[in-house]
Amino acid sequence: MAEETSIETAEKEKEVVSKNFIEMIIDKDIAEGHCKKVVTRFPPEPNGYLHIGHAKSILLNYGLAEKYGGQFNLRFDDTNPTKEKMEFVDSIKKDVEWVGGKFEDRLFYASDYFEQMYEAAVKLIKKGRAFVCDLSAEQMREYRGTLTEPGKDSPYRNRSIEENLALFEEMKEGKVEDGKRVLRAKIDMASPNMNMRDPVIYRVAHLTHHNTGDRWCIYPMYDFAHPIEDAIEGVTHSICTLEFEDHRPLYDWVVRELEYEHPPKQIEFAKMYLTNVITGKRYIKKLVEDGIVDGWDDPRLVSIAALRRRGFTPESIQMFMELCGVSKSQSSVDYAMLEYCIREDLKLKKNRIMAVLNPVKLIITNYPEGQTEYLEAANNQENEELGVRKIPFGRELYIEREDFMIEPPKKYFRLYPGNEVRLMNAYFVKCEDYVTDEKGNVTEIHCTYDPETKSGSGFTGRKVKGTIHWVNADTAVKATVRLYENLVDEEKGVYNEDGSVNLNPNSLTVLENCYIEPSVKDAKAYDSFQFLRNGYFCVDAKDSSTEHLVFNRIVSLKSSYKPT
């Protein structure tokens, strides 16, 4: 009995250790009765496309809600119409759902709460906790003070409640020009936290909003709007990144002054940084505008749309985030870890097929002309459940150019004059001759085959050291293949001193005349395969068509990442 108890204790200790610090906070809040049902949210501003770092926040918030049997909301923090577009709203919804954030019917907009935010601002004015200020932006910076010196009170700080209400109403009614007046919280100009020095909570902006049109000409500031949105939706734990840690006192001040019965709790975690990638919207926008990439979903980027187009899977992103973990410490993660995750996800799921990316013709001179036979091949040698397929074989084939050399070096076991190799899943062939063009490039390789050596026949007469892949020339699917390297020149770092990006000139190689076995002929956008010896490839969702397939290399077969 004592042994059983110690085992149970050890299991419980293991479970506690495996929990991250946010889960421990939530456990404590539940135990102390601060919340009964966990509610989290992912609150993007619709001013751009999501990237791999956002995926961490999506999966963290969704995962916490799922683990505690709560709910997860998607809410657009659309309080700044200057840069917001429906294009971004649509792309974000798609990205959140794809990566695994199931928000179901819980899609909200901060702009849906503009009336409640306005009423909240009026409440603060009536409590003497907010005032209308006529200082210019430059004057406010002068009055704000520094990290070592306190700020000065605005000369408008002691306006009466009645005057503030009237002036704020004028702002709402459109009688004030942009930038002439703001509404500020009345907190403490001597606070060591700059965010608490009477921050602006409303500004005038005569702009058309994507959701509310021209109904409003005043808009709440993010730090004021966000805690109100959380409180309205019943969010219990507002999970955000570390740069908002200094904003937490203001978050708490807002929910306290507005007297919400169940105030949400803000918790910060460290962002995830990937080495040698570009995530900044300003930099990507310039790359798009300059035509260096073909859009925000260019497969060389790490936006969620780009990763999806390249062929990454939600499962690989989820695995990656689990490996990264959740902490309070800032750290960088090698891109090779993300590549490791997609390899791990695909290796048992995908058919392993033959594709020749740099072809040269091989003619089997003693194989009957016009004859085609179908050879059996396993779809995935590590997963029998994927079954087998039939591959057409004939007199004329394509092989990789690198699989033949006229004068090979030592330990070269592939095809060369007089040498014999196995054609994968087929026969032994021996090189008898070859043809070159006027520049000395090999255009044809002439071989003979031994019909006794058919794969699966049990032939044991002799051994060969090399096996090469091939496709049948008559039935192969001609396709375009794109090979990707890092967009950034890793040796020089991501950015130059002038802020420009150190671009890798070899980040994209386009191979137009590739030949793939016919099992791919009906492939659709996002279908993926392992091309033997070449890597994992995905049908491009933008440029591929039924008439001509375009494949993106997701990742090569070799990995530099070693899991611990």
Condensed to tens digits (0 to 9), the pLDDT of residues 327-340 reads 998 888 999 999 99
Q: Give the whole-angstrom CA distance, residue 499 versus residue 502.
A: 9
Q: Are residues 302 and 223 located together in one domain of the fold? A: no
Q: Are residues 126 and 151 located together in one domain of the fold? A: yes
Q: Are residues 207 and 230 located together in one domain of the fold? A: yes
Q: Are residues 247 and 181 located together in one domain of the fold? A: yes
Closest-CA residue to 464 (of 472, 453, 475): 453
Q: Is residue 275 part of a domain?
A: no
Q: Are residues 394 and 532 located together in one domain of the fold? A: no
Q: Is residue 406 part of a domain?
A: yes
Q: Is residue 107 part of a domain?
A: yes
Residues 6+ apart with CB under 8 A from 445: 360, 361, 362, 363, 399, 404, 415, 431, 433, 434, 435
Q: Give the whole-angstrom CA distance, residue 124 versus residue 128.
A: 6
Q: Encoding tokens for residue 536?
A: 């994992």
Q: Is residue 92 part of a domain?
A: yes
Q: Are residues 230 and 137 located together in one domain of the fold? A: yes
Q: Are residues 91 and 31 located together in one domain of the fold? A: yes
Structural domains in the chain (count): 3
**Tokens 């966000």 belong to which residue?**
226
Give me the pLDDT at residue 371, please.
Answer: 95
The pTM (predicted TM-score) of the whole model is 0.90
Q: Among 242, 269, 296, where does a domain finish?
A: 269
Q: Give the whole-angstrom CA distance, residue 380 versus residue 141.
A: 65
Q: Is residue 70 part of a domain?
A: yes
Q: Give the whole-angstrom CA distance, residue 422 versus residue 529.
A: 23
Q: What is the DSSP string of 418-484?
A: T-EEEETTS-EEEEEEEEE-TTS-EEEEEEEEEGGG-TTS---S---S-EE--EETTTPEEEEEEEE
Let me know if 151 is exposed, middle or buried by CB neighbors in 10 A (0-12, 13-18, 19+): buried
Q: Is residue 562 part of a domain?
A: no
Q: Among 428, 443, 469, where does a domain finish?
A: 469
Q: Encoding tokens for residue 254?
A: 């807002």
Closest-CA residue to 118 (of 44, 169, 156, 46): 169
Q: Are residues 102 and 234 located together in one domain of the fold? A: yes
**Tokens 């050291």 belong to which residue?**
465
**Pairing mode of beta strands 396-400, 359-364:** antiparallel
Q: Give the whole-angstrom CA distance, residue 309 versus residue 111.
A: 31
Q: Give the whole-angstrom CA distance, residue 203 versus residue 184.
A: 9
Q: Are residues 286 and 435 located together in one domain of the fold? A: no
Q: What is the CATH number of the domain that holds 315?
A: 2.40.240.10
Q: Is residue 276 part of a domain?
A: no
Q: What residues make up the domain containing 334?
A: 281-350+480-555
- Under a CB-based contact definition with an 8 Å cutoff, are residues 537 and 554 in contact? yes
Q: Are residues 65 and 183 located together in one domain of the fold? A: yes
How far separated are the first and last CA of the chain, in Å rounded? Answer: 36
Torsion of CA 400, 405, 406, 411, to 10 degrees: -150
Residues 6+ apart with CB under 8 A from 490: 276, 504
Task: Count CB neighbours of 360 within 10 A.
Answer: 20
DSSP 390: E
Helix axes 314-324, 335-346, angle to 10 degrees: 130
Torsion of CA 363, 368, 374, 375, to 10 degrees: -60
Condensed to tens digits (0 to 9), the pLDDT of residues 543-564 reads 999 999 999 999 999 876 666 6
Give me the pLDDT at residue 560, please.
Answer: 64
Q: Are residues 248 and 370 located together in one domain of the fold? A: no
Q: Is residue 14 part of a domain?
A: no
Give me the pLDDT at residue 494, please.
Answer: 76
Q: Encoding tokens for residue 77?
A: 């923090």
- Under a CB-based contact definition with an 8 Å cutoff, are residues 121 and 202 in contact? yes
Torsion of CA 248, 251, 257, 259, to 10 degrees: -110
Measured over the CA atoms of residue 56, residue 61, residue 62 and residue 68, the dihedral's sign is positive
Give me the pLDDT at residue 83, please.
Answer: 85
Closest-CA residue to 211 (of 58, 304, 119, 75): 75
Q: Give the whole-angstrom CA distance, residue 93 versus residue 103.
A: 9
CA-based angle 142:147:148, to the nearest 5? Answer: 100
Q: 192's torsion region: left (phi>0), alpha (psi -120 to 50) or beta?
A: alpha
Using 70 as the pLDDT threshold, list the residues of the chain that sit under it. Answer: 1-17, 560-564
Q: What is the CATH number of the domain that holds 135?
A: 3.40.50.620
**Pairing mode of beta strands 508-516, 467-468:** unpaired
* Exposure letters 527-553 (e unless 16+ CB within 10 A, then b): bbbbbbbbbbbbbbbeebeeeebbbbb
Task: Count CB neighbours of 112 within 10 A.
Answer: 15
The beta strands (E) that lie in 193-305 are given as 200-204, 218-220, 237-241, 265-269, 272-274
Helix axes 314-324, 52-67, angle to 10 degrees: 80
Q: Are residues 454 and 493 located together in one domain of the fold? A: no
**Tokens 């169940």 belong to which residue?**
262
Longest dimension (CA), the chain: 103
Chain-centroid distance of CA 243 in Å reads: 21
Q: Among 419, 439, 469, where does a domain finish?
A: 469
Q: Give the whole-angstrom CA distance, residue 345 versus residue 192.
A: 49
